[in-house]
């Protein structure tokens, strides 16, 4: 894959000077067109062999364009700041908004490649990480991002010469460290592993461009022209279409639905509820303070139809927790800032560190529920979201997060009773809106969307727990019991018998 990047590409000084002037003028013009349209973000990945000119290219792109609208991030191996977070968390924090350009000097490829080269990860794990990257990039492109991936290459002889040249120049000696020479000792393994990575992840929607880095003029013009062409094509409306996920199953011919199969008549007497509530809240408090939680975090997802009791159940959960340990994140319509990013971006921002919990009152499942039913996104968007959500939750679990998802289910008759109660009770008036009444008319569409969501995203690692009861006391006890059992399972505890 690197053969053509080792043949000594060169550009003469005169030709470079002429082409550079035109190129930088056109790039700047397209950058302002991008900023004005704010249609999509541009993400530029800069990776490659040490000494191949990555840093110089990053500096040059900032010089050629307006750096005020470019976010440049140098990303190496993970630091303690990201301790306890999924591997991709730090990259979500630096994604550019629509209309802007982000240059990632080093990227989500750096750590997997280095870990494999140094023997810290086996082939199977490396392959899985590359597949996760493919899914991530496919999602970025499907969300509208222009993804430009540069790999700067040098032959082994050219890399050694480049390091020695820099080291002997007082103005550039600082660029070469003992760490660079240590990495150079692994050049052959690095190139072999990198070639595997590029082959696996050079896709139709996010291809790699390998650039020979020995000649600065050739390197600069090649990268600049490629970016100019890609940006110009996108601004002209030539968008790349990502692969569409498998379609959802048609409705059952007997008209039965998943949610319709549960027993909604389950209930608890008040005294039983009060006793079990105290016991379960104490149990949950001890679990969250258990030393094992220092290597765990908790993400709670509460979804359900309007008036299903999400808020009151969340309060019974948080009553058992130290206020310093958790955050409740209520999810409403996305803000302007959030709409300028991929839809999962606003949820990555609220992930908890080890020892803490994030409680989502509605969540990323809005993409396959309200956005699907109300037509706020295209069919292809919500269809691909099933796989994207599963991949997102797998990353959380891999980082030590316990993901517990509840669907709070009620019948349409019970919802109507609660709506009327809210309407008649002054202190509860704020809970009922015109949208709530309007959504009742789409009950069948939501029931189907919910069934598809559970079928496609209830995984072995992050299953859905459907709490089907028109009795709020029963629902709260069911949630607390399930939550405690999931935490005990994650921490390897043996739950006491007959706690139910």
Q: Domains of the chain by range and CATH? A: 3-235 (3.40.50.300), 259-490 (3.40.50.300)
Structure tokens at 346: 């606003």
Distances (CA, A) of 327 to 290, 298, 318, 320, 357: 19, 11, 9, 13, 7
Stated length of the chain: 500
Please, where are the H alpha helices in 243-378? 270-288, 310-318, 336-339, 345-348, 370-373
Mean pLDDT score of the chain, rounded to an integer?
91
How many other β-carbons are positioned within 10 Å of the β-carbon of residue 121? 18
| pLDDT of 115 strictly over 70 | yes
In the three-class reduction of DSSP (H, G, I as helix; E, B as strand; rest coil), residue 286 is classed as: helix
Tokens for 319?
Answer: 């009553």
Give DSSP secondary structure letters for 250-274: PPPTT---SGGGS-------HHHHH
Over range 78-103, report the average pLDDT: 85
424: Cα separation from own chain's centroid: 42
Mean pLDDT over 35-54 rounds to: 94
Examine the pLDDT at 481 and tell me if it is beyond 60: yes
What pLDDT was estimated at residue 498? 44
In this prediction, residues 185-208 reach a mean pLDDT of 90
Tell whether pTM > 0.85: no
């Amino acid at each position: 894959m690197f053969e053509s990047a080792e043949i000594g590409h060169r550009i003469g000084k005169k030709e470079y000077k002429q082409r550079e002037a035109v190129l930088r003028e056109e790039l700047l013009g397209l950058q302002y067109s991008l900023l004005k349209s704010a249609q999509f973000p541009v993400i530029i990945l800069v990776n490659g062999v040490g000494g191949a000119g990555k840093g110089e290219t990053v500096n040059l792109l900032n010089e050629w364009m307006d750096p005020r609208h470019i976010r440049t991030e140098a990303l190496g191996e993970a630091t303690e700041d990201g301790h306890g977070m999924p591997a991709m968390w730090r990259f979500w924090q630096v994604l550019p908004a629509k209309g802007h350009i982000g240059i990632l000097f080093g990227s989500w490829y750096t750590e997997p490649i280095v870990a494999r080269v140094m023997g810290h990860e086996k082939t199977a794990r490396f392959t899985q990480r590359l597949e996760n990257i493919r899914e991530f990039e496919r999602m970025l492109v499907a969300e509208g991002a222009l993804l430009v991936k540069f790999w700067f290459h040098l032959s082994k002889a050219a890399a050694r010469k480049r390091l020695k040249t820099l080291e002997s120049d007082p103005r550039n000696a600082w660029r070469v460290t003992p760490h660079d020479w240590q990495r150079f000792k692994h050049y052959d393994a690095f190139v072999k592993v990198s070639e595997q990575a590029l082959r696996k992840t050079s896709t139709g929607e996010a291809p790699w461009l390998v650039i020979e880095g020995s000649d600065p003029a050739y390197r600069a013009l090649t990268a600049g022209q490629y970016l100019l062409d890609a940006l110009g094509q996108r601004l002209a409306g030539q968008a790349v279409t990502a692969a569409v996920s498998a379609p959802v199953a048609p409705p059952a011919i007997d008209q039965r639905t998943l949610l319709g199969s549960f027993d909604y008549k389950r209930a608890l007497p008040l005294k039983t509820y009060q006793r079990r509530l105290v016991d379960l809240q104490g149990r949950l408090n001890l679990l969250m303070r258990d030393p094992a939680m220092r290597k765990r975090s908790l993400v709670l997802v509460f979804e359900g139809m309007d008036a299903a009791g999400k808020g009151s159940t969340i309060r019974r959960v948080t009553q058992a927790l130290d206020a310093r340990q958790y955050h409740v994140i209520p999810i409403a319509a996305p803000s302007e800032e959030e709409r300028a990013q991929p839809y999962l971006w606003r949820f990555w921002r609220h992930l908890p560190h080890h020892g803490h919990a994030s409680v989502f009152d509605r969540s990323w499942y809005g993409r396959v529920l309200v956005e699907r039913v109300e037509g706020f996104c295209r069919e292809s968007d919500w269809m691909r979201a099933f796989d994207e959500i599963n991949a997102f939750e797998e990353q959380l679990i891999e980082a030590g997060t316990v993901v517990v998802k509840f669907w709070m289910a009620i019948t349409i008759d019970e919802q109507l009773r609660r709506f009327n109660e809210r309407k008649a009770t002054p202190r509860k008036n704020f809970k009922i809106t015109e949208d709530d009444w309007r959504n009742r008319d789409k009950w069948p569409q939501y029931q189907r969307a919910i069934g598809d969501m559970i079928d496609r995203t209830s995984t072995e690692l992050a299953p859905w727990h459907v709490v089907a009861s028109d009795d709020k006391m029963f629902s709260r006890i069911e949630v607390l019991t399930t939550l405690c059992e999931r935490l005990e399972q994650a921490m390897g505890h043996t739950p006491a018998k007959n706690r139910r």
